[in-house]
Structures are given as C-alpha cells and as structure tokens.
Amino acid sequence: RDRAFASYEDVEARYERRPSAWVRPLGDWGPGRVELLQLPTPDETHDNVVAYWVPATLPAPGTPMDFAYEISWQGDVQQRPPGSWVTQSRRGIGYTKQDARQLAGQVQFVIDFSGPALDGLPPAAAVRAVASADANGRVLEQLAYPNPASKSWRMTLRVQRIDPSLPVELRAFLQHDNHTLSETWTYNLLPE
C-alpha cells in the first residue's frame, strides 16, 4: 500500500496508515486462481474489496477441501511481489492523432511498474504490455516502455467500451521473453 497521504487526501479514513496483508499459500493448493471481488456499498466508509481462491476444478458440493496459508500484516516495511509491482495508475482520454469524434467510449490508462525484475533491463529490452478486457471491452492499444524520469517501466493502454451502460474488467501485466515480470494490474471500468 502506498504510504503517502497525498495519494489519498482523506483526513478521516487515513488510508495511508491502514495495514497491508501478504497472503502466502502453504502446501499444495493445486491449480486455480485468486478472484478479486468489489462489493457495492452505500459510501466510502465500508470496506468492500475481498479476495478468494477458486480451484481450477471445482469440487462436488459437500466435498471438504483443506487449505493452509500464512498472513503477514505489514505497515511501513512491506513485502513486495518478487518481480515488479504497480506504483501508480492514471486514467484519462489521453493524446491521440485521431479525430476527437472517434474517441467516443475510449479511455486511456497509464500504469507505472517498479521492482527488481525491471531494474536491470536495458531501455531497449523487448518488454511487452499484455492486456485483456472482458466481453464488454476492446483493448485498442497496449504499449510498454521505460520511464527514465522515475527509473521504472510504463504501460499505456487504450480501451474502448462496447456497451457504455455496463462495466468493463481490465487486466494487464508486463512480459519479457515469455516470462511474466510483474503483478497483474486489474481495473473495473464502471459505467459513466
């Protein structure tokens, strides 16, 4: 979690002081995935994001499953993913040479990544932005390039909604030589 007050600007909730948790599976969980779920809430005072494990093969109803894990609660000193992680992301219309009327429904994201997997890469390294959208979105552009000002790597995504009344779930990460370099950035682009 970012610890800078300026990133949140909330004098009551003080999000920059809230702990982070690093969950490490113990033993063999088998193939599967972690799903992140955002629950609707009436206001910002309710915590509304949860994560849970989904096995690749779902068990029959009533079949017990055992999972062991360790949670490390963290404050100012944080354990980071071993590769690289998102340091910030921004959303806007962005610059394009296209006629402005063609931009209807398009959104641009700029996502910065830092970490040891990126630190030693030369600026000309063939780092790829790998991005996907659910059925309600199209990834029109995905670029990865070094950011010399912050000694990090930057990803730029341009996405188009198909139905503006529905959300779009986005996922993106950095890759080099078919090796994943970063955590996966996720974003739920809500209807406007």
160 is written with which tokens? 């188009």
Of 64, 66, 85, 115, nearest in space to 22 by CA: 85
pLDDT score for 96: 65
Q: Are residues 67 and 157 in the same domain?
A: no
Q: Classify residue 172: in a domain, yes or no.
A: yes
Burial class (CB in 10 A: 0-12, 13-18, 19+), 175: middle
Q: Classify residue 141: in a domain, yes or no.
A: yes
Q: Are residues 58 and 91 in the same domain?
A: no
Q: Are residues 69 and 111 in the same domain?
A: no
Q: What is the pLDDT of residues 3-47, one digit of tens each?
A: 889 888 889 888 888 888 888 899 999 999 988 888 888 887 788
pLDDT score for 192: 78
Confidence of residue 99 (pLDDT cuts 50, 70, 90): low
What range does the domain containing 49 cover?
5-74
Confidence of residue 100 (pLDDT cuts 50, 70, 90): low
What residues does 30 pair with on adjacent strands?
none
Of 60, 54, 58, 65, nearest in space to 32 by CA: 54
Q: Classify residue 54: in a domain, yes or no.
A: yes
Number of domains in the chain: 2
Please indicate, yes or no, whether the overall pTM of this predicted structure exceeds 0.85.
no
Query: How many helices (H) and strands (E) in the chain?
Result: 1, 12
Residues 185, 159: Cα–Cα separation, whole Å: 14
pLDDT score for 57: 95
Q: What is the pLDDT of residues 141-168, one digit of tens each?
A: 999 999 999 999 999 999 999 999 999 9
Q: Are residues 70 and 89 in the same domain?
A: no
Q: Are residues 157 and 70 in the same domain?
A: no
State the chain's mean pLDDT as an integer: 89
Q: Are residues 136 and 168 in the same domain?
A: yes
